[in-house]
Amino acid sequence: MRECVYNAGLLTTLNSANIEFITEPEAVVLRCLDVVKDRNLRSGRDDAVNIISR
DSSP secondary structure of 5-54: HHHTTS-SSTT-S------HHHHHHHHHHHHHTTS-----SS--------
- Kindly tell me if the per-residue pLDDT of 41 is higher than 70: no
Instruction: Please check whether residue 2 lies inside any domain of the structure.
Output: yes
- The number of folded domains in the chain is 1
Query: Does the structure show a pLDDT above 80 at 50?
Result: no
Calculate mean pLDDT across residues 12-39.
86
The answer as to whether 4 is a domain residue is yes
Query: Is residue 11 included in any domain, yes or no?
Result: yes
Q: Does the pTM exceed 0.85?
A: no
Does the residue 45 lie in any domain? no
